[in-house]
Structure 1
């Protein structure tokens, strides 16, 4: 695999690629952003993102090119007999920490909602329900896609490809 980034170049034989991690990493400017971290035998890592900066404030999706690259890389690694470790989602510790933070947030939201209902603050309660629904939709999608798991060359997780 040859690469060029910020004036640096490299050539990594497929046999030297030891791990690939696919994940879903949305940012405010690009909600459909995916990432592939490729690690070689020396421990060096390349992060390949499914978007690129067009201007200082605009990110352009490169969905088709990213998808073709990731699928092609997996096919070439499989054909070369690679034993690379294929993982998807966040690391187990990061995922557990995210779940714990969301549980604390949910507990706080339930407490605020109960208080709003008990004192008859209906607009506040409605706001909390709406905010919780929006938060659950956005964060739920992030956590569902980034569930830590292993996969095979033939079974790339479709939720982690654009």
Structure 2
């Protein structure tokens, strides 16, 4: 049994802990996920299937903001045979609007973990970026910090005070935005009973 395909012109809503749907893009098909007795039912456009809870090998929660939505969360699921699904906390509504679905996404994620636990799942539960990706981001940030410090020192040396203020303002804004991304996405493991609060809306 699979979930019915949602109408593309209808709002995508979630009944707490049972159904969840979103649009990954305006031109792509709607995506719907249902927690059923047999397992996780999914439908992406014309494709559909059911993953028994015992076949889900890993769940990774992360914080993935984009320019259109500064509070976007993501779940990446993988089965034992390598199939993958991505579930996002936002949905495209119009060309200029990516709407958050915080409550529906959170309820679905909590319910999914409860179903996995009840099924005796041995899934690997991880939060944040992979260790390699996280360390790479730290290296890039360190290089940017060195470059910004050099620019600031030069601006101070030549008395370019408007430039100093601009660099300080840019650094503060950049640090606030990127700092939150790095803090939330620190690699970690978690349990079915203790989902990472900073990786859920």
TM-score range, shorter chain: over 0.9
Structure 2 gaps, min length 5 = 1-39
Q: Distance in 2 between matches of 1:42 and 1:106?
A: 42
Root mean square deviation, CA, Å = 0.7
Spell out structure 1 runs of 4+ moving beyond 6 A.
Answer: none
Match of 2:162 among 113, 123, 132: 123
Aligned pair partner of 1:79 in 98, 103, 118: 118
- Which residue of 127, 136, 144 corresponds with 1:97? 136
- Structure 1 residue 57, shift from structure 2 partner: 2.5
- Where 1:86 maps in the other structure, the secondary structure is strand
Q: Select which of 122, 126, 151 maps to 2:190.
A: 151
In 1, the alpha carbon distance for the partners of 2:75 and 2:103 equals 14
Counterparts in 2 of 1:1-162, with a 5 A limit? 1-162=40-201
Tell me the CA shift for residue 143 of structure 1: 0.3
Decide which structure has greater helix share.
Answer: 1
List gaps (5 residues or longer) in structure 1: none
Q: TM-score, normalised by structure 2?
A: 0.79
Number of equivalences: 162
TM-score (norm 1): 0.98
More relative contact order, 1 or 2 (CA 8 Å, 6+ apart): 1
